[in-house]
């Protein structure tokens, strides 16, 4: 909503005064006009857009009982699923490879908007989704990230808006239900590093980005600064999950890469084509949100092979995103 300045209030009041004066002085007296003008001056400022307050991260941390991470006024809780022994094509999937539950908080006019990605076993699914609905939150997606994974795991996206303390309590209730379903805290145990002896600098050169190493997984997180994404009118940032990512493990000749592409609708077909033509499996295409503007699709992929060839395939797919149309109908980066 546009903020109304004090000068605009005065101008509007004068306009109303003149209009009534032109109509007639018989049916309305100066006292009534004065009341109309006073009402204009007093009540119009109250319909200005509500000021969005910063998050009370200490309250979130206290209520959730989990220390999170702050970034540019936003806050994220991450729970590594260390208890899940997931394997795909002989590669162990650990939290940096895409096995981490998270719930992020961003300021909104109501207090906070949350978005989260909850990792679930088949046994967790029913009780946890019941808890999400019980808490008055929404489920916007349930899907896979892998194929041929043992055991099977699913990813459930949740969201909601409300007072910050209430949203923290709702988030805690959902996370507690996961722990209750499994009979333990998913992050309580530790997880060993996976094997990695790939030339990371070579991957950086191919992809044009620099990754981060964690427990034998080299991971890239790539934002979409070319797209201003909003959900319920609130900006969705890289920190809130609006990003493309790629995670590598293994050796130069026998590497695995897993990741997620975020795409505008016109980018979906060319990205899929580029990945498949380069020997990388597309294992899921779906939404994460339902009220987002503009419309966004997410794609999960899995590849096994020579690390540099995998990186070149990803680069080809990345080049299909972030393009903008010019006035002549051509595309430019």
CA distances from 53 to 56, 74, 226 (A): 9, 12, 26
Q: What is the topology classification, in CATH, of domain 51-192?
A: Alpha-Beta Plaits (3.30.70)
**Residue-range domain boundaries for the chain:** 6-47, 51-192, 193-333
Query: Residues 273-292: pLDDT tens digits?
Result: 999 999 999 999 999 999 99
Contacts of 320 (CB under 8 A, 6+ apart): 267, 270, 271, 274
- The per-residue pLDDT for 150 is 87
Split at pLDDT 50, 70, 90, the class of 11 is low
Q: Which of 272, 257, 283, 244 is nearest to 152 (CA)?
A: 283
pLDDT of residue 33: 42
Mapping DSSP to helix (H, G, I), strand (E, B) and coil, where does residue 290 land?
coil
Structure tokens, 333:
């980066």
Structure pTM?
Answer: 0.82
User: Any bridge partners for residue 110, and if so which?
Assistant: none
CATH number belonging to domain 193-333? 3.30.70
pLDDT band at 29 (very low <50, low <70, confident <90, very high): low
Strand partners, 223: 243
């Amino acid at each position: 909503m546009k903020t109304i300045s004090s000068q605009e209030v005065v101008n509007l009041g004068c306009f109303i005064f003149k209009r009534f004066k032109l109509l007639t002085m018989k049916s309305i007296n100066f006292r009534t006009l004065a009341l109309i003008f006073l009402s204009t001056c007093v009540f119009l400022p109250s319909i200005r857009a509500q000021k969005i307050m910063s998050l009370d991260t200490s309250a979130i941390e206290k209520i959730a009982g989990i220390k999170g991470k702050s970034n540019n006024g936003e806050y994220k809780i991450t729970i590594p699923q260390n208890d899940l022994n997931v394997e795909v094509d002989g590669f162990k999937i650990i939290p940096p490879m895409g096995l981490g539950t998270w719930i992020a908080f961003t300021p909104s006019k109501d207090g906070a908007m949350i978005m989260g990605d909850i990792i679930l076993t088949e046994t967790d699914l029913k009780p946890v989704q019941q808890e999400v609905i019980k808490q008055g939150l929404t489920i916007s997606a349930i899907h896979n990230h892998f194929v041929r994974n043992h055991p099977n795991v699913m990813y459930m996206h949740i969201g909601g808006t409300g007072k910050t303390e209430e949203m923290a309590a709702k988030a805690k209730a959902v996370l507690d239900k996961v722990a209750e379903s499994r009979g333990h805290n998913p992050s309580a145990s530790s997880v060993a590093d996976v094997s990695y002896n790939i030339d990371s600098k070579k991957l950086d050169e191919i992809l044009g980005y620099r990754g981060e190493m964690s427990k034998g997984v080299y991971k890239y997180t790539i934002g979409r600064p070319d797209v201003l994404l909003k959900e319920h009118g609130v900006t969705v940032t890289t920190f809130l999950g609006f990003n493309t990512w790629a995670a590598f493990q293994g050796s130069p000749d026998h590497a695995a890469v897993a990741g997620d592409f975020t795409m505008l609708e016109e980018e979906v077909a060319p990205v899929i084509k580029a990945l498949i033509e380069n020997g990388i499996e597309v294992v899921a295409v779906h939404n994460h949100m339902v009220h987002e503007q503009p419309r966004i699709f997410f794609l999960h992929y899995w590849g096994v092979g020579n690390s540099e060839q995998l990186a070149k395939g990803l680069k080809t797919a990345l080049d299909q995103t972030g393009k903008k149309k010019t006035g002549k109908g051509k595309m430019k980066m």
